[in-house]
């Protein structure tokens, strides 16, 4: 059994979903985890509050109480690709995440995630990601180093005060004819409403007030593919992947859109062609403009079929 040396944390919701104990809530929150596992974790002292007092099977549900627990898996895949630290100071650390490495623990991943790798490399146990990237997306991620200023960096993302730029490669030839002979320099502004679909980890466009906004520009093209620059104004789950599909330019090697593919192993020779290239913002602590860019660029010549 592989156990994380670092606790995962969740806050109990403001509105009680109809439970009496913390255990009941955890069973509802994580339906794929056998209730006996939660009972055993509590019995072993592996579920606790912020002050380290233990949560038992009888502990009552208290709205907004923070619960800490230690994730366990029988085994986990090893991601060979390496991360890289781009920048570090007393408040933040900016790192490059390779394809297929999750940012934080989840699913079958406990120690094989960017956050835990960086905690081991730097010795900073309190290091915490302030935003997320999909596991299959490569690119820049900001981590908080100082818990006292962490909320300021969270607020940057929550309030849209950070400019994110991505690169993506998509097929522009359907095998019959070129969709458009001259895409370079063209821009599209996509506004629509994204909601959870089935299965729940996918998203769909529905009628209603827009809650997602992206600006997409073609910067290079070949006969069959094109390189795009994407600027998400909002930050919905899978937003860029869905917005590219809405334009008819599905991102290369996307296993979710337009059709969910059967579960398969990661293919290092065919990663999703989406890169979180740069981050620009006014530092909330120093008030100095910050600009970070990944050394890597997506290239049409790098594409594998």
Q: 44, 73, 102 — which closes off a domain?
A: 73
> Are 124 and 10 within one domain?
no
Q: What is the pLDDT of residues 125-161, one digit of tens each?
A: 999 999 999 999 999 999 999 999 999 999 999 999 9
User: Residue 215: which of 186, 237, 195 has the closest Cα?
Assistant: 186
Last residue of one domain, picked from the residues 73, 94, 123:
73
- pLDDT of 11-37, one tens digit each? 999 999 999 999 999 999 999 899 999
CATH number of the domain residue 168 falls in: 3.30.2350.10
DSSP-derived secondary structure letter, 270:
S
| Pair 291, 179 in one domain | yes
Pair 279, 196 in one domain: yes
- 216 with 241, same domain? yes
Q: What is the DSSP code string of 170-236?
A: EE-B-SSSBS-S--TT-EEEEEEEEEE-SSTTSEEEESSS--EEEEEEEEEE-SSEEEEEEEESS--
pLDDT of residue 180: 58
Looking at the structure, tell me whether residues 151 and 197 fall in a common domain: no
The reply to whether 119 falls in a domain is: yes
Reported as a single tens digit per residue, the pLDDT across 183-198 is: 999 999 999 999 999 9
**Mean of pLDDT over the chain:** 93
Kindly tell me the sign of the dihedral angle through the C-alpha atoms of 63, 64, 66, 72: positive
Q: Is 38 exposed, middle or buried (0-12, 13-18, 19+ CB in 10 A)?
A: buried
Beta bridge partners of 226: 170, 221
Q: Model confidence over 69-109: pLDDT tens digits?
A: 998 888 899 999 999 999 999 999 999 999 999 999 988 89
Alpha carbon 7 to its chain centroid, in Å, reads 19
| Residue 213 backbone phi and psi in degrees, to 5 | -150, 125
Assess whether 183 and 297 both reside in one domain: yes
Q: Is residue 79 part of a domain?
A: no
Q: 177: pLDDT confidence band, cut at 50, 70 and 90?
A: low
Q: What is the mean pLDDT of residues 198-210?
A: 94
Give me the residues paired with residue 93 across strands. Answer: 88, 143
- State the total domains in the chain: 3
Question: pTM of the prediction?
Answer: 0.88
Confidence of residue 175 (pLDDT cuts 50, 70, 90): low
d(CA 207, CA 269): 37
Q: 148: number of CA atoms within 13 Å, CB side?
A: 3
């Amino acid at each position: 059994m592989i156990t994380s040396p670092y606790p995962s944390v969740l806050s109990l919701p403001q509105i009680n979903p109809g439970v009496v104990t913390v255990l009941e809530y955890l069973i509802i929150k994580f339906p794929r985890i056998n209730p006996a596992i939660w009972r055993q974790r509590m019995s072993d002292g592996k579920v606790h509050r912020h002050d380290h007092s233990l949560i038992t099977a009888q502990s009552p549900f208290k709205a907004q109480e923070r619960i800490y627990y230690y994730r366990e898996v029988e085994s986990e895949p090893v991601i060979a690709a390496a991360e890289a630290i781009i920048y570090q100071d007393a408040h933040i650390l900016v790192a490059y995440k390779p394809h297929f490495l999750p940012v934080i623990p989840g699913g079958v991943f406990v120690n094989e995630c960017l956050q835990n790798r960086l905690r081991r490399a730097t010795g900073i146990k309190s290091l915490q990601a302030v935003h997320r990237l999909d596991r299959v997306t490569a690119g820049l991620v900001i981590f908080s180093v100082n818990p006292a200023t962490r909320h300021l960096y969270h607020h940057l993302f929550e309030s849209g005060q950070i400019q994110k730029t991505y690169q993506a490669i998509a097929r522009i030839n359907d095998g019959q004819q070129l969709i458009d002979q001259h895409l370079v320099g063209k821009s599209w502004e996509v506004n629509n409403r994204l909601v959870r679909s089935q299965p729940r980890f996918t998203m769909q466009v529905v009628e209603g007030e827009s809650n997602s906004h992206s600006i997409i520009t073609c910067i290079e093209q070949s006969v069959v593919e094109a390189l795009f620059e994407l600027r998400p104004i909002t930050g919905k789950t899978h937003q860029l992947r869905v917005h590219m599909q809405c334009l008819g330019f599905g991102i290369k090697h996307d296993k979710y859109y337009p059709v969910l593919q059967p579960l398969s192993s990661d293919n290092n020779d065919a990663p999703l062609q989406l890169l979180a290239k740069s981050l620009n913002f006014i530092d909330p602590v120093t008030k100095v403009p910050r600009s970070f860019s990944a050394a890597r660029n997506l290239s049409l010549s790098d594409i594998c079929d």
